[in-house]
């Protein structure tokens, strides 16, 4: 049953236009699922322990950010931090969490990160020597390949870590193992891995991100069939993790997961009317089953939303386009007036690293055509100040001497908006 507060959000014009608030659990109850009780069932002391770990990692996150601003190259620190953050958000594996926290403290205590942190391994072709999870190997490689595309370079070694999924049977088995999350049994919520790695595999296997790796000749057809006929929910048009609950399987409508799949397939997906209706309906709900992060806008999520509007524009009604244009205007004001600082940097909001704090606002502004008129699908407005804004942000990235893939992606966009 949909909670009454959230029902009020959805009853006006078929999407959330009310300013009423709801709890995270209530908001997630509409299009998502809250596994908190499942984690407590797996580990009765879960909440107390995980909160302590999250507080500790938040302090370490700011320490990494501060050291990066002072000029430290934090390639190894970032790899450990990102993995530790995932462990506290999506697992009750306390042993692994404590080990990764200890690893990060040890790395931060050193005068510098190892210089080979993101050098490609000749053994398996991966780019993140200080991360341990396989799906982070996939994601780090994708980040590297994006930059390599711009620079017209190629990996020195084959991406052998992809052998794990390189047959129709292996791919289906991996995706099935992450599609349904049984938190009560395993203590692991597979949502994030499914989103990150599942969508990364889409762009690698379909070839939208060239890798040089020789995939099985049938793998692309298997991937597309899985997306269209196994994973996508025709009722909402969205993709998301499915949860094993005491009352059965709960399918979720995950905004981030849906954006990634739509984006990496360049909008060539089914059920666009349902996608747009669901996207507008979750306007006042909490991410990842809504637009908001702790009740506020986020440049990261705003980029996802704007991109979905862009891809789905041809499938939208006149009224839906009016609503979308108004929302993009609000998002742009948030980015330029609240996120962007006078010195060209951005506030560290829900982004995990300093590189991401540049990447997502820049991606958002590019997506809505602030830097590039050709992307201005939603308005006929001109932005004469955009060049000066782009130069200010680019100057800050260079000043900080950032060399992570996220910062470099932002810099490439700023310097080549066309």
Tokens of 85: 């953050």
Q: Is there a contact between 240 and 279 (Cβ–Cβ < 8 Å)? A: no
Burial of 229 (0-12, 13-18, 19+ CB in 10 A): exposed
Reported as type and span, the H/E element at residue 358 is helix 354-367
**Residue 377: strand, helix, or coil:** coil
Mind listing the pLDDT tens digit of every residue in the chain (418 residues)? 233 333 333 333 333 433 444 677 788 999 999 999 999 999 999 999 999 999 999 999 999 989 988 999 999 999 999 999 999 999 999 999 999 999 999 999 999 999 999 899 999 999 999 999 999 999 999 989 988 887 889 999 999 999 999 999 999 999 999 999 999 999 999 999 999 999 999 999 999 899 999 999 999 999 999 999 999 999 999 999 999 999 999 999 999 999 999 999 999 999 999 999 999 999 999 999 999 998 999 999 999 999 999 999 999 999 999 999 999 999 999 999 999 999 999 987 767 678 889 999 999 999 999 999 999 999 999 999 999 999 999 999 999 988 888 898 899 999 988 7
Burial of 126 (0-12, 13-18, 19+ CB in 10 A): buried
pTM for the structure as a whole: 0.85
295-305 burial: b if 16+ Cβ within 10 Å, else e? eebbbbbbbbb
N-term to C-term CA, the chain: 48
Q: Is there a contact between 155 and 216 (Cβ–Cβ < 8 Å)? A: no
Reported as type and span, the H/E element at residue 243 is strand 242-245
């Amino acid at each position: 049953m949909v909670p009454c507060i959230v029902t009020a959000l959805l009853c006006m014009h078929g999407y959330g236009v009310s300013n009423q608030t709801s709890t995270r659990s209530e908001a997630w109850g509409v299009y998502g699922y809250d596994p908190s009780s499942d984690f407590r069932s797996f580990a009765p002391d879960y909440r107390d322990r995980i909160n302590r770990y999250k507080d500790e990692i938040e302090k370490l996150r700011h320490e990494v950010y501060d050291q990066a601003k002072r000029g430290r190259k934090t390639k190894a620190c970032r790899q450990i931090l990102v993995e530790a953050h995932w462990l506290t958000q999506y697992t009750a594996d306390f042993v692994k969490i404590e080990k990764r926290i200890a690893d990060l403290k040890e790395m931060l205590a050193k005068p510098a990160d190892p210089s080979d942190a993101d050098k490609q391994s000749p053994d398996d072709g991966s780019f993140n020597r200080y991360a341990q999870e396989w799906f982070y190997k996939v994601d780090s490689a994708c980040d590297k390949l994006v930059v390599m595309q711009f620079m017209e370079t190629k990996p020195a070694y084959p991406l052998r870590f992809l052998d794990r999924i390189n047959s129709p049977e292996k791919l289906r088995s991996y995706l099935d193992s992450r599609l349904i999350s049984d938190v009560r049994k395993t203590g692991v919520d597979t949502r994030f891995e499914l989103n990150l790695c599942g969508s990364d595999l889409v762009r690698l296997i379909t070839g939208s991100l060239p890798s040089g790796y020789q995939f099985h000749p049938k793998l692309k057809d298997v991937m597309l069939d899985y997306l269209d006929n196994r994973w996508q929910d025709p009722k909402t048009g969205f993709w998301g993790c499915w949860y094993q609950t005491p009352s059965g399987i709960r399918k979720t409508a995950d905004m981030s997961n849906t954006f990634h799949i739509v984006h990496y397939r360049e909008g060539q997906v089914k059920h666009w009317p349902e996608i747009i209706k669901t996207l507008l309906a979750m306007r006042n709900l909490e991410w990842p089953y809504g637009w908001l992060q702790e009740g506020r806008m986020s440049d990261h999520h705003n980029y996802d939303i704007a991109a979905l509007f862009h891809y789905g524009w041809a499938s939208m009604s006149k009224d839906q386009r009016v609503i979308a244009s108004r929302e993009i205007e609000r998002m742009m004001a948030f980015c330029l007036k609240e996120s962007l600082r006078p010195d060209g940097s951005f506030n560290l909001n829900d982004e995990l690293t300093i590189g991401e704090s540049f990447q997502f606002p820049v991606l958002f502004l590019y997506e809505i055509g602030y830097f590039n008129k050709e992307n201005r699908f939603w308005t006929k407005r001109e932005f004469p100040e955009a060049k000066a804004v782009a130069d200010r942000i680019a100057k800050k990235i260079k000043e900080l001497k950032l060399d992570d893939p996220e910062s470099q992606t932002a810099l490439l966009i700023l310097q080549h908006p066309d």
